[in-house]
Structures are given as C-alpha cells and as structure tokens.
Amino acid sequence: MDPAMDPAMDPGWEPGEPGEPSWARPGAALGGRGLLALAAASGAAVWATWAVLLMPGFRRVPLRLQVPAPLTLCACWYRHPHPCACRYQHPHPCACWYQHPDPLCLLVPAPQSLCLQVPYQPSSPRQVANTLALLRGRAGKTVDLGSGDGRLVLEAYKQGLRPALGFELNPWLLCLANYRAWRAGYHGKISFLKKDLWKVNLSDCHNVIVFLAPSVKPPLATKLLAELPDDARVVAGRYPFPSWSPSSTLGQGLDQVWAYDIKEVRRQEQGRAQQSQI
C-alpha cells in the first residue's frame, strides 16, 4: 500500500487547511513558541551532557582509603548540629555518624573501603594567579592532583615550572585539557595523565597543586608526607590542610590559597609526636 494512502500515516489535515499547524507547513517559521521549545530542549541536552559526562561529581572516583580504627578524627566536627565527642580523637566510631549532615565526612567505622566523589569546579582566574604567585621563583617537577581542564598546569608551564603535568581520571576533562594545551601551542610539552592520584609516586615532585574536596585532605596529607622530598612545596586551594600550618597564604574567601613547605610540616609533626609522648 502506498504510505500516502495509509490512514495510520494520515496526519488528519490537508495541505493549506486552516487547522494545519504552522510547523507542518513547508518553509513555515517556528514562531515564538517553537523557538522557546527548541531553546529549552537544547538547554536540557547541554545540561544533561554536562551532568552525566563532564561533571565528575556524577562519577565515582575509585579511592580505596583505609581509615584506621584507633584515633579517628572527624574532619568536620565544627559543622555538627550538636556537641559531639568526635571533635577530639577517639578510638571508636562517632555515635552520630549515621545522622551526619555532611556526606564527605571521613569519619566512618573503620577499616572500610570508600569510593568518594570528588566534584570538578574550575579554578577562577584569581585562584590561578594566587597559586602561581606562591610558586614564583621555584623550580622542579610540578604536578596538579586532579587537574580538571588543565588551566593550572598550563599556567605553571608558562611560569617556567617544568616539567608540568596533571593527574585526572575524567576522560572528558583530559580531552579538554589536551585541547587547551594544543591551542596554547604547548602540545607535547605538558602532560595530562589518566591516573589515580593515590597510586602515583610523588617522590620526584617539588611543587604540588591541590584543589580537592576537604574530605580528601587528611589521607592525602599522609601520602604527601610519606613521599615528597624535603624541599617540596604544596599549594592548596579553596580548603587548607586541617592539621598543617601554612608557610604563607594569599587571597581572601574562595580565592585564598595556602602554601606548605614539607620540611617545615615534618618538623611540626615531629614536634607534636614528641609532645604526645610526654
């Protein structure tokens, strides 16, 4: 049967008929409602692409962290809705963990493997400038742990911090970072690697940039102290390391960054350990 004669395919109007919708007329403009619907559909598609593919807050980062049972410290005690014993170090899980309002709190019954979500948030121009200011005059291998779109690595290379590389798990952000490097003319000169930051060896890194969630900072501090050389400097953005005293800081509010000299941090940690033994 000719499809044109099939009743199921008949739209129910004749060409040029008064009841024919405007979008069905050949060459007809979409009109205000059509344009609005098209814009809404396009916006929804862009948002869905960002949310599902690009925003790492929707992807699971395979971080296997073992939190020791003794001397567990709640990293967010200051946000507890009621007085809680977990503001101090204690040998048992916090009793209010199950009702905890912060999903990124590291206090969990240990040992337990975690798979944390680390959201991506691009660094602002001021954050980038402040970070590079605290690394000015330094040399040696520079890494960005969770490099995102690569803007910090790119600026570090421009400042003379070489080699410069970033570690990132999100493949879409890796593509974006490599594109930015290519567009800037630095393709092949800086590297972006799809590696889990917990599995890389940082013993040859002299400058480390960290723009990560606050819940990641305590276990990351342990890794950095165990692997970095004495002359290394760590620059943290947005959130400081809770147990470290910064050597210097720059900026205010969300643009504030903190610099930590590993040799000084180790000296402070040794002092605390000696005091605890007294």
Assign residue 230 a region (left: φ > 0; alpha: ψ between -120 and 50; beta: otherwise): alpha
Question: In the prediction, which pLDDT does 128 show?
Answer: 96
Q: How many CB atoms lie within 10 A of CB 269?
A: 14
Question: What whole-number distance in Å separates Cα of residue 54 and Cα of residue 46?
Answer: 11
The residues facing 193 across adjacent strands are 167
Spatial distance between the Cα atoms of 196 and 107, rounded to a whole number of angstroms: 22
By DSSP bridging, strand 257-261 and strand 233-237 are antiparallel
Eight-class DSSP state of 257:
E
Dihedral (CA of 31, 35, 36, 37) sign: positive
Q: Which residues pair with 72 in a beta bridge?
A: 90
Beta strand pairing call for 207-210 and 233-237 = parallel
State the amino acid at position 186 in one-letter form.
Y
> Which tokens is 92 given?
């048992």
pLDDT: which is higher, 73 or 153: 153
Residue 209's φ and ψ, nearest 5 degrees, are -105, 130
Q: What is the dihedral of CA 115, 117, 118, 119, to 10 degrees?
A: 170
Name residue 82's amino acid: H
Alpha helices by DSSP H, listed for 51-186, are 125-134, 151-158, 171-183
Mean pLDDT for 219-239 is 95
Q: Give pLDDT tens digits for 107-162.
A: 433 333 334 445 677 889 999 999 999 999 999 999 999 999 999 999 999 999 99
Q: Reply yes or no on whether the pLDDT at 84 is more than 70.
A: no
Q: Is the pLDDT of residue 103 over 90?
A: no
Confidence of residue 87 (pLDDT cuts 50, 70, 90): very low
Q: Is the dihedral of CA 227, 233, 236, 241 positive or negative?
A: positive
Helix axes 125-134, 151-158, angle to 10 degrees: 40
- Does the structure show a pLDDT above 70 at 275? yes
pLDDT for 191 equals 94
Contact of 190 with 181, CB cutoff 8 Å: yes
What are the backbone dihedrals phi and psi of residue 143, each rounded to the nearest 5 degrees, phi first?
Answer: -130, 145
Position 270 pLDDT exceeds 70: yes
DSSP code per residue over 131-161: HHHHTTT--S-EEEET-TTSHHHHHHHHTT-
Nearest to 94 by CA among 103, 105, 104: 105
Q: What does the pLDDT look like over 231-246, one tens digit per residue?
A: 999 999 989 999 999 9
How far is it, in rounded angstroms, from Cα 166 to Cα 93?
35
Q: What value does the mean pLDDT of the chain take?
A: 75
pLDDT category, 96, cuts 50, 70, 90?
very low
pTM of the model: 0.62
